[in-house]
Structure 1
Amino acid sequence: MAEGHAVHGMAGRVRRLRGQPGRSSGPVTEDFDPGLLDGLVVADAEAHGKHLLVHVEGTAWSGHFHLGMHGAVSVRRHRRALGEDGLPRTDPPVPAGLAWRFLTATYLLQITRPTICELLDPAGVSTLHQRLGPDPLRDDADPEVAVARLHRSRRAIGLLLLDQSVVSGIGNVYRAELLWRARIDPHSPGSAIPVDALRALWQDAIDLMTVGLGAGWIVTHPDQLVAARDLLVREEPVPRWRKNYAVYLRRGRPCPRCGAAVEAERMGLQTAYWCPGCQVLHR
Protein backbone atom coordinates (compact mmCIF):
# COMPACT_ATOMS: atom_id res chain seq x y z
CA MET A 1 0.00 0.00 0.00
CA ALA A 2 1.32 3.43 -0.93
CA GLU A 3 2.44 5.40 2.13
CA GLY A 4 1.55 9.06 2.52
CA HIS A 5 4.64 10.51 0.86
CA ALA A 6 3.81 8.58 -2.31
CA VAL A 7 0.23 9.87 -2.43
CA HIS A 8 1.48 13.44 -1.96
CA GLY A 9 3.78 12.79 -4.91
CA MET A 10 0.80 11.62 -6.95
CA ALA A 11 -1.09 14.80 -6.06
CA GLY A 12 1.86 16.83 -7.27
CA ARG A 13 1.82 15.04 -10.60
CA VAL A 14 -1.94 15.53 -10.99
CA ARG A 15 -1.41 19.26 -10.44
CA ARG A 16 0.42 19.34 -13.78
CA LEU A 17 -3.05 19.27 -15.37
CA ARG A 18 -4.22 22.46 -13.64
CA GLY A 19 -5.93 24.93 -15.93
CA GLN A 20 -6.46 22.43 -18.75
CA PRO A 21 -9.91 21.25 -19.83
CA GLY A 22 -10.13 17.53 -20.41
CA ARG A 23 -12.23 14.61 -21.51
CA SER A 24 -13.39 12.58 -18.53
CA SER A 25 -14.18 8.90 -18.91
CA GLY A 26 -14.40 5.64 -17.03
CA PRO A 27 -17.03 3.24 -15.72
CA VAL A 28 -20.13 4.76 -14.12
CA THR A 29 -20.76 3.46 -10.61
CA GLU A 30 -23.10 4.33 -7.78
CA ASP A 31 -20.42 6.60 -6.30
CA PHE A 32 -18.64 7.95 -9.38
CA ASP A 33 -19.92 9.34 -12.68
CA PRO A 34 -17.01 10.57 -14.83
CA GLY A 35 -19.46 12.34 -17.13
CA LEU A 36 -20.04 14.97 -14.44
CA LEU A 37 -16.42 16.06 -14.90
CA ASP A 38 -16.30 15.94 -18.69
CA GLY A 39 -15.01 19.09 -20.38
CA LEU A 40 -14.11 20.71 -17.08
CA VAL A 41 -10.76 21.90 -15.74
CA VAL A 42 -8.64 20.42 -12.95
CA ALA A 43 -8.30 23.16 -10.35
CA ASP A 44 -6.06 21.42 -7.83
CA ALA A 45 -5.11 18.12 -6.23
CA GLU A 46 -4.20 17.32 -2.66
CA ALA A 47 -3.37 14.39 -0.44
CA HIS A 48 -4.43 13.76 3.13
CA GLY A 49 -2.65 10.71 4.39
CA LYS A 50 -3.26 7.94 1.87
CA HIS A 51 -6.28 9.68 0.31
CA LEU A 52 -6.08 11.61 -2.98
CA LEU A 53 -8.49 14.44 -3.79
CA VAL A 54 -8.82 15.99 -7.25
CA HIS A 55 -10.73 19.29 -7.30
CA VAL A 56 -12.38 20.42 -10.53
CA GLU A 57 -13.48 23.90 -11.62
CA GLY A 58 -17.06 24.49 -12.67
CA THR A 59 -18.58 21.90 -10.35
CA ALA A 60 -18.97 21.28 -6.64
CA TRP A 61 -17.67 17.74 -7.05
CA SER A 62 -14.20 16.52 -6.16
CA GLY A 63 -12.81 13.11 -7.02
CA HIS A 64 -11.81 11.09 -3.95
CA PHE A 65 -9.53 8.08 -4.36
CA HIS A 66 -7.82 5.59 -2.06
CA LEU A 67 -5.46 3.23 -3.84
CA GLY A 68 -5.41 0.37 -1.34
CA MET A 69 -2.86 -2.35 -2.08
CA HIS A 70 -3.07 -2.45 -5.88
CA GLY A 71 -4.27 0.95 -7.08
CA ALA A 72 -2.13 3.27 -9.20
CA VAL A 73 -2.09 6.83 -10.52
CA SER A 74 -0.43 7.55 -13.84
CA VAL A 75 0.21 11.03 -15.24
CA ARG A 76 2.13 11.37 -18.48
CA ARG A 77 2.50 13.72 -21.40
CA HIS A 78 1.19 12.63 -24.79
CA ARG A 79 1.42 13.77 -28.41
CA ARG A 80 -1.94 12.65 -29.73
CA ALA A 81 -3.43 14.63 -32.62
CA LEU A 82 -5.94 17.25 -31.48
CA GLY A 83 -9.41 17.87 -32.83
CA GLU A 84 -11.27 21.14 -33.34
CA ASP A 85 -12.26 21.18 -29.67
CA GLY A 86 -8.59 21.28 -28.66
CA LEU A 87 -8.70 17.78 -27.18
CA PRO A 88 -7.21 14.57 -28.62
CA ARG A 89 -9.21 13.09 -31.50
CA THR A 90 -8.83 9.57 -30.12
CA ASP A 91 -8.41 7.97 -26.72
CA PRO A 92 -5.60 5.58 -25.84
CA PRO A 93 -6.43 1.92 -25.10
CA VAL A 94 -8.25 1.32 -21.83
CA PRO A 95 -5.96 -0.27 -19.21
CA ALA A 96 -7.15 -3.07 -16.96
CA GLY A 97 -8.91 -1.80 -13.86
CA LEU A 98 -9.45 1.75 -15.14
CA ALA A 99 -11.55 3.78 -12.71
CA TRP A 100 -11.04 7.28 -14.12
CA ARG A 101 -9.30 8.84 -17.09
CA PHE A 102 -8.87 12.57 -17.68
CA LEU A 103 -7.32 13.43 -21.05
CA THR A 104 -6.21 16.99 -21.80
CA ALA A 105 -4.43 18.45 -24.80
CA THR A 106 -1.06 17.56 -23.29
CA TYR A 107 -1.55 15.14 -20.37
CA LEU A 108 -3.17 11.78 -19.70
CA LEU A 109 -4.27 11.04 -16.13
CA GLN A 110 -5.38 7.49 -15.36
CA ILE A 111 -6.36 5.98 -12.01
CA THR A 112 -6.60 2.21 -11.89
CA ARG A 113 -7.80 -0.32 -9.30
CA PRO A 114 -8.50 2.08 -6.40
CA THR A 115 -10.40 0.73 -3.40
CA ILE A 116 -12.27 4.06 -3.15
CA CYS A 117 -13.42 6.00 -6.22
CA GLU A 118 -16.16 8.50 -5.51
CA LEU A 119 -17.34 12.05 -6.01
CA LEU A 120 -17.60 14.22 -2.90
CA ASP A 121 -19.34 17.55 -2.48
CA PRO A 122 -17.70 20.23 -0.27
CA ALA A 123 -19.41 18.84 2.84
CA GLY A 124 -18.08 15.38 2.02
CA VAL A 125 -14.56 16.73 1.54
CA SER A 126 -14.78 18.51 4.90
CA THR A 127 -16.01 15.34 6.60
CA LEU A 128 -13.12 13.36 5.12
CA HIS A 129 -10.55 15.84 6.43
CA GLN A 130 -12.19 15.84 9.86
CA ARG A 131 -12.13 12.06 10.25
CA LEU A 132 -8.48 11.75 9.23
CA GLY A 133 -5.68 12.46 11.67
CA PRO A 134 -2.95 15.07 11.15
CA ASP A 135 -0.70 14.36 8.17
CA PRO A 136 3.04 15.06 8.65
CA LEU A 137 3.25 16.41 5.09
CA ARG A 138 0.33 18.83 5.24
CA ASP A 139 0.93 22.47 6.14
CA ASP A 140 -2.30 22.55 8.16
CA ALA A 141 -1.28 19.65 10.42
CA ASP A 142 -1.16 20.61 14.11
CA PRO A 143 1.70 18.78 15.86
CA GLU A 144 0.06 19.17 19.26
CA VAL A 145 -3.13 17.51 18.02
CA ALA A 146 -1.08 14.56 16.77
CA VAL A 147 0.86 14.30 20.02
CA ALA A 148 -2.31 14.56 22.12
CA ARG A 149 -4.03 11.79 20.14
CA LEU A 150 -1.04 9.51 20.59
CA HIS A 151 -0.56 10.30 24.27
CA ARG A 152 -4.16 9.95 25.43
CA SER A 153 -4.48 6.34 24.26
CA ARG A 154 -3.50 3.14 26.07
CA ARG A 155 -3.20 1.35 22.75
CA ALA A 156 0.23 0.30 21.53
CA ILE A 157 2.10 3.03 19.68
CA GLY A 158 2.65 0.56 16.84
CA LEU A 159 -1.12 0.38 16.34
CA LEU A 160 -1.68 4.09 16.81
CA LEU A 161 0.79 5.09 14.09
CA LEU A 162 -1.14 3.05 11.51
CA ASP A 163 -4.56 4.26 12.66
CA GLN A 164 -5.37 6.90 10.04
CA SER A 165 -7.88 8.57 12.37
CA VAL A 166 -5.02 9.26 14.81
CA VAL A 167 -2.29 10.30 12.37
CA SER A 168 -2.45 10.02 8.57
CA GLY A 169 0.02 8.80 6.01
CA ILE A 170 2.39 6.69 8.10
CA GLY A 171 2.58 3.13 6.79
CA ASN A 172 4.35 -0.02 7.87
CA VAL A 173 7.84 0.90 6.67
CA TYR A 174 7.80 4.29 8.35
CA ARG A 175 6.27 2.79 11.51
CA ALA A 176 9.13 0.32 11.88
CA GLU A 177 11.92 2.75 11.08
CA LEU A 178 10.54 5.72 13.03
CA LEU A 179 10.14 3.69 16.22
CA TRP A 180 13.61 2.20 15.83
CA ARG A 181 15.11 5.66 15.38
CA ALA A 182 13.21 6.84 18.48
CA ARG A 183 14.26 3.73 20.48
CA ILE A 184 10.60 3.01 21.30
CA ASP A 185 9.21 -0.53 21.44
CA PRO A 186 6.06 -0.71 19.27
CA HIS A 187 4.17 -2.39 22.14
CA SER A 188 4.53 0.71 24.34
CA PRO A 189 1.15 2.32 25.16
CA GLY A 190 0.91 5.80 23.71
CA SER A 191 0.02 7.18 27.13
CA ALA A 192 3.23 5.74 28.64
CA ILE A 193 5.56 7.50 26.21
CA PRO A 194 6.83 10.93 27.36
CA VAL A 195 5.24 13.82 25.50
CA ASP A 196 8.63 15.17 24.43
CA ALA A 197 9.46 11.79 22.89
CA LEU A 198 6.19 11.86 20.95
CA ARG A 199 6.94 15.39 19.72
CA ALA A 200 10.36 14.21 18.53
CA LEU A 201 8.73 11.19 16.85
CA TRP A 202 6.31 13.48 14.99
CA GLN A 203 9.11 15.78 13.85
CA ASP A 204 11.13 12.81 12.65
CA ALA A 205 8.09 11.64 10.66
CA ILE A 206 7.95 15.07 9.00
CA ASP A 207 11.66 14.94 8.20
CA LEU A 208 11.72 11.39 6.82
CA MET A 209 8.52 11.72 4.81
CA THR A 210 9.64 15.06 3.35
CA VAL A 211 12.78 13.37 2.07
CA GLY A 212 10.67 10.46 0.82
CA LEU A 213 8.41 12.86 -1.07
CA GLY A 214 11.33 14.64 -2.67
CA ALA A 215 13.23 11.45 -3.49
CA GLY A 216 10.20 9.50 -4.66
CA TRP A 217 11.01 6.54 -2.42
CA ILE A 218 11.46 5.78 1.30
CA VAL A 219 14.90 6.77 2.57
CA THR A 220 15.72 6.01 6.22
CA HIS A 221 19.38 4.96 6.38
CA PRO A 222 21.41 7.78 8.01
CA ASP A 223 24.07 7.94 5.29
CA GLN A 224 21.47 7.83 2.52
CA LEU A 225 19.44 10.53 4.26
CA VAL A 226 22.43 12.88 4.33
CA ALA A 227 23.13 12.27 0.65
CA ALA A 228 19.45 12.58 -0.33
CA ARG A 229 19.00 15.86 1.53
CA ASP A 230 22.08 17.29 -0.16
CA LEU A 231 20.76 16.33 -3.60
CA LEU A 232 17.30 17.73 -2.86
CA VAL A 233 18.76 21.05 -1.70
CA ARG A 234 20.57 21.23 -5.04
CA GLU A 235 17.31 20.25 -6.80
CA GLU A 236 18.94 17.14 -8.25
CA PRO A 237 17.25 13.72 -8.54
CA VAL A 238 17.90 11.17 -5.82
CA PRO A 239 19.07 7.81 -7.24
CA ARG A 240 17.27 4.66 -6.13
CA TRP A 241 20.05 3.27 -3.99
CA ARG A 242 19.74 -0.21 -2.51
CA LYS A 243 17.12 -0.08 0.24
CA ASN A 244 18.85 -0.26 3.59
CA TYR A 245 16.47 -0.50 6.54
CA ALA A 246 17.36 -0.90 10.20
CA VAL A 247 14.57 -3.30 11.17
CA TYR A 248 11.88 -3.43 8.46
CA LEU A 249 11.85 -6.92 6.84
CA ARG A 250 14.96 -7.85 8.87
CA ARG A 251 13.52 -10.43 11.27
CA GLY A 252 16.29 -12.49 12.88
CA ARG A 253 19.07 -10.28 11.54
CA PRO A 254 21.29 -8.17 13.82
CA CYS A 255 20.22 -4.67 14.77
CA PRO A 256 22.68 -2.20 13.21
CA ARG A 257 22.78 -0.27 16.50
CA CYS A 258 23.13 -2.93 19.23
CA GLY A 259 23.48 -6.26 17.45
CA ALA A 260 20.40 -7.93 18.97
CA ALA A 261 18.25 -10.04 16.64
CA VAL A 262 15.36 -8.10 15.12
CA GLU A 263 11.95 -9.48 16.07
CA ALA A 264 8.67 -9.42 14.16
CA GLU A 265 5.05 -10.20 14.90
CA ARG A 266 1.62 -9.44 13.57
CA MET A 267 0.36 -6.13 14.94
CA GLY A 268 -3.00 -5.06 13.60
CA LEU A 269 -3.23 -5.91 9.92
CA GLN A 270 0.52 -5.76 9.26
CA THR A 271 3.78 -7.13 10.64
CA ALA A 272 5.70 -4.97 13.10
CA TYR A 273 9.50 -5.11 13.24
CA TRP A 274 11.61 -3.94 16.18
CA CYS A 275 14.82 -4.51 18.10
CA PRO A 276 14.26 -5.90 21.62
CA GLY A 277 17.76 -4.85 22.60
CA CYS A 278 17.59 -1.09 22.16
CA GLN A 279 13.92 -0.15 21.70
CA VAL A 280 12.53 0.59 25.15
CA LEU A 281 9.15 -0.77 26.26
CA HIS A 282 7.44 2.09 28.09
CA ARG A 283 4.83 1.04 30.67
Structure 2
Amino acid sequence: MPACPRDTLYALARDLHAAFAGTSPVVTSPQGRFAEGAALVSGRRVLGVTSRGKHLFLELEGDAWVHVHLGLIGTFTVDHGAWTAEAPVVGQVRMRLATDQHVADLRGPTVCAVVTPEEVAAVLGRLGPDPLRPDSDPEVAWRRISRSGRSIGELLMDQSVLAGVGNVYRSEVLFRQRLSPATEGRRFRRASWSLVWDDLVRLLPLGVATGRIVTVEDQVLEVEAALGRGEVPHLEERTSSVYKRDGQPCPRCGARIRTRVVAGRNLFWCGGCQRRR
Protein backbone atom coordinates (compact mmCIF):
# COMPACT_ATOMS: atom_id res chain seq x y z
CA MET A 1 0.00 0.00 0.00
CA PRO A 2 1.25 3.53 -0.58
CA ALA A 3 2.63 5.57 2.26
CA CYS A 4 0.12 7.63 4.20
CA PRO A 5 0.33 11.42 4.14
CA ARG A 6 2.38 13.03 6.91
CA ASP A 7 -0.87 14.10 8.59
CA THR A 8 -1.78 10.44 9.00
CA LEU A 9 1.62 9.08 10.03
CA TYR A 10 -0.31 7.30 12.76
CA ALA A 11 -1.80 5.05 10.06
CA LEU A 12 1.63 4.35 8.60
CA ALA A 13 2.92 3.32 12.03
CA ARG A 14 -0.11 1.05 12.39
CA ASP A 15 0.57 -0.62 9.03
CA LEU A 16 4.28 -1.04 9.70
CA HIS A 17 3.51 -2.53 13.10
CA ALA A 18 1.05 -4.99 11.54
CA ALA A 19 3.58 -6.01 8.89
CA PHE A 20 6.76 -6.29 10.97
CA ALA A 21 6.05 -6.56 14.71
CA GLY A 22 7.32 -9.91 15.95
CA THR A 23 9.47 -10.49 12.85
CA SER A 24 13.22 -10.14 12.31
CA PRO A 25 13.49 -8.30 8.99
CA VAL A 26 16.57 -7.93 6.86
CA VAL A 27 17.44 -4.23 6.97
CA THR A 28 19.48 -2.73 4.14
CA SER A 29 20.26 0.67 2.67
CA PRO A 30 20.19 0.40 -1.13
CA GLN A 31 21.10 4.08 -1.38
CA GLY A 32 23.99 3.58 1.03
CA ARG A 33 23.39 6.55 3.35
CA PHE A 34 22.03 4.34 6.15
CA ALA A 35 24.39 1.40 5.58
CA GLU A 36 26.02 1.48 9.03
CA GLY A 37 22.71 1.85 10.83
CA ALA A 38 21.13 -0.93 8.76
CA ALA A 39 23.97 -3.29 9.68
CA LEU A 40 23.39 -2.54 13.37
CA VAL A 41 19.71 -3.50 13.36
CA SER A 42 19.35 -6.06 10.55
CA GLY A 43 17.98 -9.34 11.86
CA ARG A 44 16.79 -7.92 15.19
CA ARG A 45 13.23 -8.66 16.20
CA VAL A 46 10.84 -5.72 15.84
CA LEU A 47 9.02 -5.12 19.12
CA GLY A 48 6.71 -2.42 17.80
CA VAL A 49 6.23 0.64 15.63
CA THR A 50 4.74 3.85 17.01
CA SER A 51 4.37 7.47 16.04
CA ARG A 52 4.20 10.76 17.88
CA GLY A 53 3.35 13.81 15.86
CA LYS A 54 5.49 13.60 12.72
CA HIS A 55 8.07 11.25 14.26
CA LEU A 56 8.09 7.51 13.64
CA PHE A 57 9.85 5.03 15.94
CA LEU A 58 10.70 1.37 15.31
CA GLU A 59 11.59 -0.42 18.55
CA LEU A 60 13.86 -3.42 18.17
CA GLU A 61 15.27 -5.95 20.61
CA GLY A 62 18.46 -4.99 22.37
CA ASP A 63 17.35 -1.46 23.31
CA ALA A 64 17.76 -0.23 19.73
CA TRP A 65 15.38 2.16 18.03
CA VAL A 66 15.15 3.55 14.51
CA HIS A 67 13.93 7.15 14.44
CA VAL A 68 12.35 8.40 11.20
CA HIS A 69 11.08 11.85 10.30
CA LEU A 70 9.70 12.08 6.77
CA GLY A 71 10.01 15.85 6.48
CA LEU A 72 8.28 17.44 3.51
CA ILE A 73 9.18 14.94 0.77
CA GLY A 74 9.81 11.63 2.53
CA THR A 75 7.74 8.52 1.84
CA PHE A 76 7.55 5.10 3.46
CA THR A 77 5.80 2.40 1.42
CA VAL A 78 4.68 -0.99 2.69
CA ASP A 79 4.18 -3.67 0.01
CA HIS A 80 2.82 -7.17 0.37
CA GLY A 81 4.09 -10.34 -1.24
CA ALA A 82 7.08 -12.63 -1.04
CA TRP A 83 10.42 -10.82 -0.99
CA THR A 84 13.62 -11.96 -2.60
CA ALA A 85 17.09 -10.47 -2.73
CA GLU A 86 16.35 -9.53 -6.33
CA ALA A 87 13.33 -7.37 -5.48
CA PRO A 88 13.72 -4.20 -7.58
CA VAL A 89 14.70 -0.99 -5.86
CA VAL A 90 12.83 2.04 -7.18
CA GLY A 91 14.28 5.48 -6.46
CA GLN A 92 16.69 6.45 -3.70
CA VAL A 93 15.75 3.99 -0.96
CA ARG A 94 17.39 5.05 2.30
CA MET A 95 16.20 2.03 4.28
CA ARG A 96 14.51 -1.23 3.31
CA LEU A 97 12.85 -3.63 5.75
CA ALA A 98 12.19 -7.05 4.26
CA THR A 99 10.72 -10.39 5.31
CA ASP A 100 9.26 -13.19 3.22
CA GLN A 101 5.87 -11.48 3.61
CA HIS A 102 6.51 -7.76 3.39
CA VAL A 103 8.93 -5.17 2.12
CA ALA A 104 8.95 -1.53 3.21
CA ASP A 105 11.00 1.17 1.50
CA LEU A 106 11.88 4.54 3.03
CA ARG A 107 12.76 7.37 0.66
CA GLY A 108 13.76 10.99 1.21
CA PRO A 109 13.44 11.34 5.00
CA THR A 110 15.01 14.20 6.89
CA VAL A 111 15.90 11.79 9.71
CA CYS A 112 16.70 8.08 9.61
CA ALA A 113 18.94 7.05 12.49
CA VAL A 114 19.54 4.31 15.03
CA VAL A 115 19.02 5.87 18.46
CA THR A 116 19.02 4.89 22.12
CA PRO A 117 16.00 4.82 24.46
CA GLU A 118 17.34 7.99 26.07
CA GLU A 119 17.42 9.76 22.70
CA VAL A 120 13.83 8.65 21.99
CA ALA A 121 12.75 10.06 25.37
CA ALA A 122 14.49 13.34 24.56
CA VAL A 123 12.61 13.67 21.24
CA LEU A 124 9.28 12.88 22.89
CA GLY A 125 10.00 15.36 25.66
CA ARG A 126 10.27 18.17 23.11
CA LEU A 127 6.88 17.44 21.53
CA GLY A 128 3.50 18.83 22.45
CA PRO A 129 0.40 16.65 22.84
CA ASP A 130 -0.77 14.65 19.82
CA PRO A 131 -4.56 14.81 19.19
CA LEU A 132 -4.48 11.25 17.83
CA ARG A 133 -3.27 9.79 21.10
CA PRO A 134 -5.90 9.24 23.81
CA ASP A 135 -3.32 9.83 26.55
CA SER A 136 -2.51 13.36 25.31
CA ASP A 137 -3.30 16.30 27.56
CA PRO A 138 -4.56 19.43 25.75
CA GLU A 139 -3.75 21.50 28.84
CA VAL A 140 -0.04 21.09 28.09
CA ALA A 141 -0.56 22.84 24.74
CA TRP A 142 -2.86 25.45 26.24
CA ARG A 143 -0.27 26.52 28.80
CA ARG A 144 2.24 27.14 26.01
CA ILE A 145 -0.30 28.93 23.82
CA SER A 146 -1.64 31.18 26.57
CA ARG A 147 1.84 32.47 27.42
CA SER A 148 2.94 33.19 23.86
CA GLY A 149 2.98 36.42 21.88
CA ARG A 150 3.01 34.48 18.61
CA SER A 151 -0.15 34.07 16.53
CA ILE A 152 -2.31 30.97 16.84
CA GLY A 153 -1.67 30.35 13.14
CA GLU A 154 2.03 30.04 13.90
CA LEU A 155 1.62 28.15 17.17
CA LEU A 156 -0.43 25.37 15.57
CA MET A 157 2.57 24.52 13.39
CA ASP A 158 5.02 24.42 16.31
CA GLN A 159 5.61 20.76 17.16
CA SER A 160 6.64 21.69 20.70
CA VAL A 161 3.15 23.14 21.19
CA LEU A 162 1.06 20.61 19.29
CA ALA A 163 2.43 17.48 17.65
CA GLY A 164 1.43 16.27 14.22
CA VAL A 165 -0.94 18.97 12.97
CA GLY A 166 -0.08 19.85 9.38
CA ASN A 167 -0.72 22.91 7.27
CA VAL A 168 -4.04 21.75 5.81
CA TYR A 169 -5.58 21.04 9.20
CA ARG A 170 -4.28 24.35 10.55
CA SER A 171 -6.08 26.35 7.87
CA GLU A 172 -9.22 24.26 7.80
CA VAL A 173 -9.82 23.91 11.56
CA LEU A 174 -9.40 27.65 12.17
CA PHE A 175 -11.91 28.23 9.37
CA ARG A 176 -14.35 25.67 10.75
CA GLN A 177 -14.31 27.43 14.11
CA ARG A 178 -14.40 30.98 12.60
CA LEU A 179 -11.15 31.85 14.40
CA SER A 180 -8.72 34.51 13.27
CA PRO A 181 -5.28 32.98 12.64
CA ALA A 182 -3.65 36.30 13.60
CA THR A 183 -4.78 36.23 17.24
CA GLU A 184 -1.86 36.11 19.66
CA GLY A 185 -1.72 33.04 21.85
CA ARG A 186 -1.92 35.13 25.04
CA ARG A 187 -5.11 36.76 23.70
CA PHE A 188 -6.60 33.47 22.50
CA ARG A 189 -9.57 32.33 24.58
CA ARG A 190 -9.56 29.07 26.49
CA ALA A 191 -12.95 28.18 25.01
CA SER A 192 -11.55 28.71 21.51
CA TRP A 193 -8.68 26.36 22.23
CA SER A 194 -11.19 23.71 23.35
CA LEU A 195 -12.99 24.08 20.02
CA VAL A 196 -9.72 23.65 18.09
CA TRP A 197 -8.57 20.64 20.12
CA ASP A 198 -11.94 18.88 19.98
CA ASP A 199 -12.16 19.43 16.23
CA LEU A 200 -8.69 17.98 15.69
CA VAL A 201 -9.59 14.98 17.85
CA ARG A 202 -12.65 14.51 15.65
CA LEU A 203 -10.99 15.03 12.24
CA LEU A 204 -7.59 13.38 12.49
CA PRO A 205 -8.94 9.82 13.02
CA LEU A 206 -11.00 10.26 9.85
CA GLY A 207 -7.76 10.92 8.00
CA VAL A 208 -6.33 7.72 9.47
CA ALA A 209 -9.41 5.72 8.39
CA THR A 210 -9.56 7.10 4.84
CA GLY A 211 -5.99 8.07 4.02
CA ARG A 212 -7.44 11.43 3.01
CA ILE A 213 -7.74 14.77 4.76
CA VAL A 214 -11.45 15.26 5.46
CA THR A 215 -12.47 18.70 6.75
CA VAL A 216 -15.60 19.80 4.86
CA GLU A 217 -18.56 19.11 7.12
CA ASP A 218 -20.78 17.19 4.71
CA GLN A 219 -17.90 14.84 3.93
CA VAL A 220 -17.05 14.58 7.64
CA LEU A 221 -20.59 13.47 8.37
CA GLU A 222 -20.53 11.03 5.44
CA VAL A 223 -17.31 9.41 6.65
CA GLU A 224 -18.51 9.24 10.25
CA ALA A 225 -21.74 7.57 9.16
CA ALA A 226 -19.88 5.01 7.04
CA LEU A 227 -17.48 4.18 9.87
CA GLY A 228 -20.43 3.88 12.24
CA ARG A 229 -21.87 1.21 9.93
CA GLY A 230 -18.55 -0.60 9.88
CA GLU A 231 -17.91 0.37 6.26
CA VAL A 232 -14.75 1.76 4.70
CA PRO A 233 -15.71 5.12 3.19
CA HIS A 234 -14.56 6.00 -0.31
CA LEU A 235 -14.34 9.66 -1.21
CA GLU A 236 -14.26 10.58 -4.88
CA GLU A 237 -12.22 13.72 -4.36
CA ARG A 238 -10.74 15.80 -1.57
CA THR A 239 -12.26 19.20 -1.06
CA SER A 240 -11.33 22.03 1.25
CA SER A 241 -13.01 25.20 2.42
CA VAL A 242 -10.05 27.58 2.33
CA TYR A 243 -6.84 25.60 1.76
CA LYS A 244 -5.31 26.48 -1.63
CA ARG A 245 -8.37 28.61 -2.50
CA ASP A 246 -6.65 31.99 -2.44
CA GLY A 247 -8.76 34.70 -4.07
CA GLN A 248 -11.87 32.52 -4.33
CA PRO A 249 -15.11 33.33 -2.51
CA CYS A 250 -15.58 31.88 0.94
CA PRO A 251 -18.13 29.02 0.84
CA ARG A 252 -19.69 30.36 4.03
CA CYS A 253 -19.86 34.15 3.63
CA GLY A 254 -18.66 34.91 0.11
CA ALA A 255 -15.72 37.11 1.18
CA ARG A 256 -12.35 36.66 -0.49
CA ILE A 257 -10.07 33.92 0.81
CA ARG A 258 -6.61 35.19 1.63
CA THR A 259 -3.17 33.65 2.04
CA ARG A 260 0.07 34.52 3.78
CA VAL A 261 3.23 32.63 4.68
CA VAL A 262 3.13 31.84 8.40
CA ALA A 263 5.67 29.49 10.00
CA GLY A 264 7.15 28.76 6.58
CA ARG A 265 3.95 27.51 4.96
CA ASN A 266 1.05 29.17 3.16
CA LEU A 267 -1.80 29.80 5.58
CA PHE A 268 -5.27 30.29 4.08
CA TRP A 269 -8.22 32.00 5.77
CA CYS A 270 -11.38 33.96 5.06
CA GLY A 271 -11.06 37.70 5.55
CA GLY A 272 -14.79 38.00 6.24
CA CYS A 273 -15.96 35.39 8.73
CA GLN A 274 -12.78 34.40 10.56
CA ARG A 275 -12.77 37.20 13.09
CA ARG A 276 -13.47 35.41 16.36
CA ARG A 277 -10.75 35.33 19.01
Tell me which interval the TM-score lies in, with the shorter structure as reference length: over 0.9
Q: Where does the alignment leave 5 or more consecutive residues of structure 1 unmatched?
A: 81-87
Q: Does 1:41 align with 2:41?
A: no
Paired position in structure 1 for 2:56: 52
Aligned counterparts, 1:180-191, within 5 A:
180-191=175-186
Determine if contact 2:212/2:238 at 8 Å carries over to the other structure. Answer: no
C-alpha distance in 1, partners of 2:254/2:37? 55
User: In terms of mean alpha carbon deviation, does 218-227 or 272-281 score higher?
Assistant: 272-281
Determine if contact 2:26/2:98 at 8 Å carries over to the other structure. Answer: yes
C-alpha displacement of 1:4? 5.1
Aligned counterparts, 1:234-245, within 5 A:
234-245=229-240
C-alpha displacement of 1:32? 5.6
Deviations 1:64-106 (A, max 9, x none): 11111211111111124xxxxxxx4x24122222111111121
Across the two proteins, how many residue pairs are aligned to each other?
272
C-alpha displacement of 1:242? 1.9
* Residue of 224, 228, 239 corresponding to 2:223: 228
Determine if contact 2:156/2:162 at 8 Å carries over to the other structure. Answer: yes
C-alpha distance in 2, partners of 1:103/1:31? 15
- Residue 166 of structure 1 aligns to a residue whose secondary structure is coil
Aligned counterparts, 1:191-270, within 5 A:
191-270=186-265
C-alpha distance in 2, partners of 1:249/1:184? 18
- Structure 2 vs 1, CA of residues 30 and 103 (structure 1 numbering), >3 Å: closer, same or farther? closer
**Structure 1 counterpart of 2:47, which letter?**
A
- Residue 101 of structure 1 aligns to a residue whose secondary structure is strand
Q: Does 1:74 align with 2:81?
A: no
Give the fraction of aligned pairs with identical amino acids, expressed as a percent: 34
Aligned counterparts, 1:84-103, within 5 A:
88=84, 90-103=85-98
C-alpha distance in 2, partners of 1:3/1:172? 12
Aligned counterparts, 1:125-204, within 5 A:
125-204=120-199
- Residue 14 of structure 2 aligns to a residue whose secondary structure is helix
- Residue 33 of structure 1 aligns to a residue whose secondary structure is helix
**Structure 2 counterpart of 1:247, which letter?**
V
C-alpha distance in 2, partners of 1:28/1:142? 40
- Residue 268 of structure 2 aligns to a residue whose secondary structure is strand
C-alpha displacement of 1:109? 1.4
**Structure 1 counterpart of 2:68, which letter?**
F
Paired position in structure 2 for 1:11: 13
**Structure 2 counterpart of 1:21, which letter?**
S
C-alpha displacement of 1:21? 1.6
TM-score (norm 1): 0.91
**Structure 2 counterpart of 1:14, which letter?**
L
Determine if contact 1:42/1:54 at 8 Å carries over to the other structure. Answer: yes
Paired position in structure 1 for 2:110: 115
Determine if contact 2:256/2:270 at 8 Å carries over to the other structure. Answer: yes
